[in-house]
Structure 1
Amino acid sequence: MTSSLITKKKIAKAFKKQMAFKPFEKISVVDIMMEANIRRQTFYNHFVDKYELLDWVFKTELQEQVTDNLNYISGFHLLEELIFYFERNQSFYKQLFDIKEQNDFYHSFEQYCFILMEKIISEHEKTNAHHIEEKEKCFLIQYHAKALANMIKSFTLEKDFFLVASQIKAVIQKSLVRIRR
């Protein structure tokens, strides 16, 4: 890992610590860098502002969680990993879902759900030797991606996070099985 990436990860960790007890709009670059124990100017060597940092944290962590594993584990296993990831990082993502300013986290997250649903539906077609018409496939991907993003957002914003991957998996599987009829 390059020193630049190590520094970015250290800044990101400090940022996430700050978000655990402070609302996003109250966090300054000074707060983040004091938490990281790094001089303030170093922040600007890596990020333009806290919005870019926020975007980087999201893309980096979700990429590690979802996109980097696309070729190695099944779509439903990725779904379980994604839900587990949000359970572990609930307080951080609760704040991200609440941000309605410059960067809208929800729409970026929705794109990751699209990638995941494309994989799940593609695997279903291969496993069941069942071709789904393109128009119907697009609808299913969009429908399930939006539903998944919305469910994760809803449960993340609630006080007691409880989202069962097996229930979501069952709903998706039922919708795919019904298409064959």
Structure 2
Amino acid sequence: MERKREATKVLLQEGLKELMKSHSFDKITVKMITDEAGVLRPTFYNYYRDKYELLEDVFQEDVGKRMSKLLDDGMEEEAIKLLVLHMERERAFYRKAFEVTGQNSFEEILEQYLYLFFLECLTKYPLKEQPGLNIWRKEVIAKHYSLSLASVIKAWVMYEKQDIPVEEIIRGYYILMNHSIFELIDKKEQS
């Protein structure tokens, strides 16, 4: 019974992915998803409240669970690289996903997942002793990193040059995270 349940979830997830190749998310209906998956419409509601929950589950199944496994294995940086590699491989899908705005936006889904990921890192490992760092709660630090990484990924997937290698995206992200804005700007170049 559990296998059939999992198989139906996969059909619904793949149905949404297939539809997003040719339709914007806001135009996709539950009926379209179930038709694509080859299941009855009421079946959808045995698994998901709405298509937004399905979108979140697609992300969890595609990359979230694998990132969590890497985190469990102490491979946090590899988990971030996996995320970026997956976004590159499935760029067309995630570009459409990032078009989902407002409440239940994909950016919100990604930010929340990354927030929990970074919070887990901060719970798993103690912070290094650095002046000024101990004034911040773990939740504030996790939120800072989740917002920044989600923003970098969205900009890369949606707007930036499409030929930037994954390694360059990750290197750029780490540069941003390791320097204040005042270390990145060149005041000598001012007119």
Asked if structure 1 preserves the Cα contact closer than 8 Å seen for 2:70 and 2:78, the reply is: no
| Structure 2 CA distance for aligned equivalents of residues 5 and 41 of structure 1 | 16
Asked if structure 1 preserves the Cα contact closer than 8 Å seen for 2:63 and 2:82, the reply is: no
Task: Indicate the residue corresponding to 1:38 in structure 2.
Answer: 39
Unaligned runs of 5+ in 1: none
Unaligned runs of 5+ in 2: 184-191
Q: How does 1:122-133 map to 2 (within 5 A)?
A: 125=127, 130-132=128-130, 133=133
Alpha-carbon distance change, 110 to 34 in structure 1, aligned in 2, over 3 angstroms:
same
SS in 2 for 1:4: helix
Corresponding residue pairs, total: 172
Does 2:50 correspond to 1:49?
yes
Q: Scaled by the length of structure 2, what TM-score is found?
A: 0.73
Q: How does 1:101-120 map to 2 (within 5 A)?
A: 101-118=102-119, 119=121
1:122-151 C-alpha deviation (Å, 9 max, x unpaired) = 6695xxxx3344325745543332211100
> Aligned AA for 2:150?
A
SS in 1 for 2:135: helix
Alpha-carbon distance change, 14 to 27 in structure 1, aligned in 2, over 3 angstroms:
same
| Structure 1 CA distance for aligned equivalents of residues 122 and 62 of structure 2 | 21
| Structure 1 CA distance for aligned equivalents of residues 40 and 32 of structure 2 | 11
1:7-41 C-alpha deviation (Å, 9 max, x unpaired) = 11111011111011101121122221222222333
Asked if structure 2 preserves the Cα contact closer than 8 Å seen for 1:12 and 1:53, the reply is: yes
**Larger deviation, residues 97-106 vs 135-144:** 135-144
SS in 2 for 1:2: helix
Q: How does 1:138-149 map to 2 (within 5 A)?
A: 138=138, 140-149=141-150
Task: Indicate the residue corresponding to 1:70 in structure 2.
Answer: 71
Deviation at 1:62, TM superposition (A): 4.0
| Structure 2 CA distance for aligned equivalents of residues 61 and 9 of structure 1 | 11
Q: Scaled by the length of structure 1, what TM-score is found?
A: 0.77
Task: Indicate the residue corresponding to 1:167 in structure 2.
Answer: 172
Alpha-carbon distance change, 100 to 37 in structure 1, aligned in 2, over 3 angstroms:
same
* Percentage of identical aligned residues: 24
Alpha-carbon distance change, 65 to 39 in structure 1, aligned in 2, over 3 angstroms:
same
Deviation at 1:111, TM superposition (A): 2.3
Asked if structure 1 preserves the Cα contact closer than 8 Å seen for 2:70 and 2:76, the reply is: no
4+ residue segments displaced more than 4 Å: 120-125, 136-140
> Aligned AA for 1:10?
L
